[in-house]
Structure 1
Amino acid sequence: MTDSSSARTPTATAAPGRDGATPAGSGGNPADERPYSPGLEGVVGAESAIGLVDGKNGRLLYRGYKIGELVERGTYAEVADLLWTGEWHPGAKLPPAPVPAPVLAALRELPRDAHPMDALRTAGSVWGATQRLAWPPTPEQARAMTAFAPSALAAFGRLRQGHEPVEPDTSLGIAAAFLQQLNGEPPDEAAARALDAYFIVGAEHGLNASTFTARVITSTRSDIASAVVGAIGALKGPLHGGAPAEVVNQLHEIGSPERAEQWVRETVARGERVMGFGHRVYRAYDPRAAALRTVAEQLGRNAEWLEMAVKVEDVVLRVLAELKPGRILKTNVEYYAAAVLQGVGLPPILYPSVFALARHAGWTAHAIEQVGAAKLIRPDMRYTGPA
C-alpha cells in the first residue's frame, strides 16, 4: 500500500525515474531549514507540574516537595497519591491487589528464564485487556495498575524459582507486600521501609525516555495500561533502565578501597564506564543518591559492604575529577540504589523491574496530565533520501 495512488511501482527490469532536480545520492530537502536535534535533546516536549529535575543545582521536586523530605517523612502511597492528584493527603493508602487469573495464567506460560521486565510488561498487557479501561486515564485507574504490578512481579519471581505465588497481605503497604509475596513470609520491617523509600526515589524523574513514551501513547487517546506497557518497553533498554546490578558487580570486582584507585584508572584507560557515576542531567550530587545513602545507612544491613562502598565512592570521585577534569561526574542514584536493593535481599535480576514498579506512579501521573494537553504528539521528520 502507498500514500498516493499516483506513486510509481519499481519493476524487475528497471528502476523508476526520480522526481525533482536533486541529484541522486545528495538527498534531502534543501528548502527545510528548521533545526534538527538528534534524540530531541534540548527540545521542550511537554509542560508539567508533576516533577522538577534541576540538574544544575542537584534538586528533585515532586509537586514542589523536596525528594529528601518525602523520603524522610512520607510513604510511597502518599507520594503516589501526591503525583496523581497534586495534593498531599497524609495517611493515603495503596493496598496491594491480587493477580487476576488471566494474568497468572500468562505468567505461568513464560519460560522460567524470561527476563522479569518481559514478565512485567506481559502482565501489564494482559491486565489491561481484562479491565476494559475507559478514556481518559484517571487516578483510580492509576491506583489499580500500580497496586497490581508488584503482585504480578512477585508471582513471576516465585514461579521462576519453582514456587507457587502467594496472595498479598492487604494490611501491608505496597513495598512490604511485594517482599511478603516474593519471599512467602512476613517482611522485615526495616527492609520494607527501605524498599518503600527506594520506591519514593524512583517514582518520578521528568520527561525521560519511558515517561515520554507513556505521554506519546496517551496523546493518541490510548488507555493507561498501553501507556505503562510501552513505558516498560522503553525502560528495558540498557541506555535508560539504570545499572544497580552492575554497581554491585563493580564493587565486588574492586574488592577493597585500597584497590579502588588502580581499578578506576585501568577502567578509564580502557574507555569503559565507571557505573554509578555521572548523569545526563545532574551537574551536582544526585539528590536521590543522597537520600538512598541515608536509607542504606539506617537499614543496618551489610554494614561492611556499605562502609566499603562509601570509601570507594570518595576514591572514585577524586580520581574521576583528575582524569576527566572537563566533565562533571558525580555519584548518581544507581550507586546507593545498589546498596538498598542488596540490603533488602533482592536478587540482581529483579533490580530493573523493581525500578519499574516504583516508576508506575510517575508514568501514570504523566498519562493523566497528558490528557489536559489535548494534543497528539507528532514531531516532524526531515527527509534525507533521494528527492
Structure 2
Amino acid sequence: MAVCDYQPGLEGIPAAQSQVSYVNGQEGVLEYRGVAIEELADRSSFLETSYLLIWGQLPTAEELAAFEHEITYHRRVKYRIRDMMKCFPESGHPMDALQASAAALGLFYSRRNLQDPAYIRAAVVRLLAKIPTMVAAFQHIRKGNDPVPPRDDLSYADNFLYMLNEQQPDPFFARIFDVCLILHAEHTMNASTFSARVTASTLTDPYAIVASAVGTLGGPLHGGANEEVIAMLEEIGSVEKVVPFVDERIARKAKFMGFGHRVYKVKDPRATILQKLVDEMVARYGSDRYYDIARELETVLADRLGDKGIYPNVDFYSGLIYRRFGIPTDLFTPIFAISRVSGWLAHWKEQLETNRIYRPTQIYVGQHHQPFIPMEKR
C-alpha cells in the first residue's frame, strides 16, 4: 500500500458488506433493513425494531410475543453482579460501570458455541434484557440504595423508567422514550459498531463484544456527545447569550456539540423526529429555558453555518428529552448503549455469517537502523 492510500480514521474506506442499515447523508435517509426510520418511529416498538435488525425481518405477532416474553423473563441479573456493582466507586461514570458489568455477564454465560442458534438467541435475549437492568441498578447503588427490581407487567421502555425512578411513567413519556430507543438502535459502521465487528471477528463471546462497544461509545466524539449538549446549554445560560456564544466559538473554530455529522450533510432525520417529540412535550407540559436556548441556538447556527452542512444531529434533542424525564446527564450515554445493543448484536450475527478476522495494515513512518544505546550512555 502506498502512503497516498492512507486515510486518517479510515474515512470513506468500506470495512464490511452489510444488510443491517443504510444511510444516505446527502438526502438525509436512514433505513433499518430497508425500512425507513420515520416508519419505524411512527409504527413500531423498540423490541419489534430490534427483532428486525437482529433477525433480518419484521416478526409475526407470535414471534414478537415470544421475543418479548423471553426478554421479560430474563430481565433480572445475578446477585453476584449486583454485589460486584456495589464495590464500584460512587464517583465512577455509569458507562465504566456498564462496560464492566456487561463483560461480567460472560462469566455467568460463558458456554461459547457460535454454531448453535439456541446459544445465539439466548445471548441476544440476555443482553437486551439485562443491560437496562444494570444501568438502572448502578444509578441506585451509587446513591447507597438497593436496585429496584424489574416488573414483568411493564413494557421494555416502561420497565426501564420504572426501575430508574421507582414510579410507573406517564404513557406519553414511555412512548417517547421507546421512540428514542428506536432512533438510537443502529447507524451503520460507526465507531462502536466497528469496534463490535472487530471484536466479533476473533470469535469471542457476545458479552465481550458488547463490552468493547460500550467502551468505544463512551467517548465524547461518539455517544458522549449528548452529555456535552446539556453542558453547552448550561454554559450559554439564556436565549440572549446565544448570539455572542455562537460568534465567539465560530471565531476560534470551536465545535458545537450536537451539531454536524460525519455522514449527514443535511439535517439528521433522527433529529427531525426528536424535535417533533420535544415540541409535543412542550405543548403538553410547557417550555423551559433549555428548550428555548436550544431552539434559538439551532436558528442562529442555521443562519451562520447552514451552508456548511452544520445541522443538529441525534444527540442535540435527545439530551433535552432525557433531561425532561429527570434522567441524570451522565446516564444519557448508557441509555444510548441500551438502544445500540440491538445494532451491535445485528452486526455480530452478520459478522459470524462470513467471518474473516480484521487485520488492517499500517504505514510505518518511524526510523530504521537505529543503534542500541547501552544503559550507561542514555
TM-score normalised per structure 1: 0.86
Residue 309 (structure 1) aligned to one of 294, 298, 302: 294
Change in Cα spacing, 1:141 to 1:201, as seen in structure 2 (3 Å) is same
Q: Does 2:83 match 1:105?
A: yes
What amino acid is the match of 2:256? V
Q: Does 2:180 match 1:198?
A: yes
Mapping of residues 293-332 of structure 1, within 5 Å: 293-299=275-281, 300-301=284-285, 303-305=287-289, 306-321=291-306, 325=307, 327-332=308-313
Q: Distance in 2 between matches of 1:245 and 1:265?
A: 22
Unaligned segments of structure 2, at least 5 residues:
369-378
Change in Cα spacing, 1:66 to 1:383, as seen in structure 2 (3 Å) is same
Give the CA deviation at 1:226.
Answer: 0.9
Q: Distance in 2 between matches of 1:219 and 1:375?
A: 6
Q: Distance in 1 between matches of 2:351 and 2:338?
A: 21
Q: Does 2:226 match 1:248?
A: no
Mapping of residues 1-387 of structure 1, within 5 Å: 35-89=5-59, 92=64, 93=68, 94-95=71-72, 97-136=75-114, 138-299=120-281, 300-301=284-285, 303-305=287-289, 306-321=291-306, 325=307, 327-387=308-368
Contact 1:216/1:377, CA 8 A, preserved across alignment: yes
- Matched positions, count: 353
Give the CA deviation at 1:215.
Answer: 0.5
Stretch of structure 1 that moved more, 142-151 or 87-96: 87-96
Unaligned segments of structure 1, at least 5 residues:
1-30
Residue deviations 1:337-377, cap 9 Å, x none? 11211122101011111111111000111001100122111
Q: Distance in 2 between matches of 1:90 and 1:169?
A: 25
Q: Distance in 1 between matches of 2:157 and 2:51?
A: 15
Q: Distance in 2 between matches of 1:301 and 1:116?
A: 29
Residue deviations 1:28-66, cap 9 Å, x none? xxx956822222111110011001121111111001111
Equivalent position SS for 1:144: helix
Give the CA deviation at 1:180.
Answer: 0.9
What amino acid is the match of 2:101? A
What amino acid is the match of 1:371? L
Bigger fraction of residues in helix? 2
Q: Distance in 2 between matches of 1:240 and 1:253?
A: 21
Q: Distance in 1 between matches of 2:87 and 2:278?
A: 37
Give the CA deviation at 1:135.
Answer: 3.0
Change in Cα spacing, 1:165 to 1:33, as seen in structure 2 (3 Å) is closer
Q: Distance in 2 between matches of 1:81 and 1:227?
A: 19
Equivalent position SS for 1:53: strand
Residue deviations 1:163-188, cap 9 Å, x none? 11121002222222111111122222
What amino acid is the match of 2:221? L
Give the CA deviation at 1:312.
Answer: 3.0
Residue deviations 1:55-86, cap 9 Å, x none? 11111100111111111111101000110111
Change in Cα spacing, 1:33 to 1:242, as seen in structure 2 (3 Å) is closer
Residue deviations 1:291-346, cap 9 Å, x none? 1112222233452343443233112211224xxx5x32111111111121112210
Q: Distance in 2 between matches of 1:113 and 1:311?
A: 34
Contact 1:99/1:148, CA 8 A, preserved across alignment: yes
Change in Cα spacing, 1:288 to 1:255, as seen in structure 2 (3 Å) is same
Q: Distance in 1 between matches of 2:99 and 2:207?
A: 10
Equivalent position SS for 1:379: coil
What amino acid is the match of 1:310? R
Contact 2:180/2:274, CA 8 A, preserved across alignment: yes
Contact 1:214/1:227, CA 8 A, preserved across alignment: yes
Residue deviations 1:73-118, cap 9 Å, x none? 1110100011011111255224260121121111011011111001
Which has more radius of gyration? 1
What amino acid is the match of 1:355? F
What amino acid is the match of 2:79? A
